[in-house]
Structure 1
Amino acid sequence: MKIARSCSALLFALVASVSLLPGVASAQTKIKMVLNWKYEGAQAWFFYAQDKGYFKAEGLDVQIDQGEGSAASIPKVASGAYNAGFGDINALIDLAAKQPAVAPVGVYMIYNVTPFVVAVKSGSPIKTLKDLEGKNIGGPANDAALKLFPLVAKAAKVDASKVSITNMAANLREPMLMRDQVDGAFGYALTVEFAAKAIGMNPDKDLRFINYADYGIDSYSNAVFFSQSFIKENPKAVQGFLRALNRAITEVVANPDAGMDSVMKREPLLKRDIEKEKLIATFKTQMSHPEIAKIGFGDVDEERLKRNIAAVVELGNLSRPPAPVEVFNRSFLPPRAERATAF
């Protein structure tokens, strides 16, 4: 009996000591995460990290739910419905300016290249943003490109009041454009391109993109963020989540098929070849800003972030510009040597 009690005490002490190891989250810390959109190829690293046990190895029990738009995930985390999310940093900046006490905080930047466009049919007379005046342009209500349109319109000297806006469900954007029910559509370039492919269009021949970046809009896009309360109460869990995700991103970039295996487990009705192509295009175009050679993937350039904040504040006529640290906290990032310099 004494021997049994001694073994039990030894086992308890061993478990307790492991749970206190530096860098390891408490056993099975639960994280509810909401994505930017429905399950798709460009989210492969989240599912891969889950399937490979990388989250579990960090003591995390991660639930990953589908989203309803890059801007929509921010209020879901702010409300407490989720601990973490993946979505548009510009919408996060807006909320941080208006409600600093509840706004989530970015911790890992993924889409570091400006992806926002207006898509038009290749034969459209619309060549520049100025040509949008008098036209009807469509986009989902939560689309980040639509929300940023007043800012790029000002830069392009476009009278935004002369542009009619039609809201639609995201899955109707490309069909409505194809049927000329709208003259153009707001969106992420890759999202529009691959959604068009999924309905039988040839985006290289059928579409043309007017890029916000050509008008001086150099904003960040989608980042991983956590609620302030979760960060305060579970800093090791945030750190562990980013270690697992960072490892998964590196491995999926090296082996996209492995990432796609995880995607298809969640949504077997997806067209694997199209989603794989979208995944590869995502890390080649939306995750390839030259700054990562200096700061490493996952981080942000402080001066660029300040310009991004200033632009959003101007766009929304906001009275309070949030400080960069309210928008992005780099202290949870893996060491610089572990974060890619290029993909």
Structure 2
Amino acid sequence: MAARPYVVLSAAMSVDGYLDDTRPERLRLSNAEDFDRVDQVRAESDAILIGANTMRRDNPRLLVNSPERRAQRVADGRPEHPLKVTVTASGDLPADLNFWHHGGDKLVFTVDSAVQRVRATLDGLAEVVSTGAEFDWGRCLDELGRRDVGRLMLEGGGMVHTQLMVADLADEVHLAVAPLLVGQTRAARFLGAADYPGRPTARMKVLEVRAVGDVVFVRYAPQGASLRTSEDALYRWACGRTARHRTVLHSPPSRAAPGRAGQLNHRGPRIRVSSVPDAAWRGRPCAVPGGSFVVQHHRPRSHHDRPQLPRRGVRTCAAAARSHLRGGRHLPA
């Protein structure tokens, strides 16, 4: 089975947790700097997903806006824009929305009772896939994994975010907290009331906090009762990267068993595991919950040097690296 994507929930909210207010026009929560940050996250993603309610309300194009970032994606052998994905149980997806007429490929996940309606409405604008009689996030992520989606960015809305958190399927949560108070009980919130894993004692791990203009950006790793382990997150993330880069995972000797560092050679990409002195441990850990690795990506020098792996090759590479690191205990804490 293909590895599921590394799932990033992304939202801008007010200090009191709202995504919007009740006015017809959209409440602007982010600033120009934060919009640029979001654009970078989009450019790093293989797919971007929003719910049907958010699509109908906001009518977004959902694109990578920076020409430089689009050009870099193409140079890396990727589509100019990430795959755009939406989910719907009702099948209510008007064909005139911006989502369908900008960017690259589009994909709709729905249920058996709505699949024919969606296909008739969109009529070739997007591929439509049913997850069964009821909507199943697990099947959705499995299908994205089969399509080589290594990193999935979810941009809302609140219902989608809530469902992913309840199902314990989010690997990271990105929150931009705007210095605003909404205070309207009928307005949309980032998360709704639900039976979250491990609540209310499961504290998330803070991965990053920084000011972006007048907005505070916080990056969390969920710590639910059934949270997938850090090593699984690492390899689901690495699985989507090894087809495009040679990846080096550095671990300090204090975190690794001696004599296990080395290089994993496969057809095309390489995952190299090496140790560096603790005194020189100044690298930036990769974006993995609890991660203690430094990840370096070496882009091929030319298109002749760029790895061209089938899906099976990417999975095999990641699986071999997992086995190697487990044997040497080169694992995040």
Higher helix share: 1
- TM (norm. structure 2) is 0.28
- Higher relative contact order (CA closer than 8 Å, sequence separation 6+): 1
- TM (norm. structure 1) is 0.27
Higher strand share: 2
Name the larger-Rg structure.
1
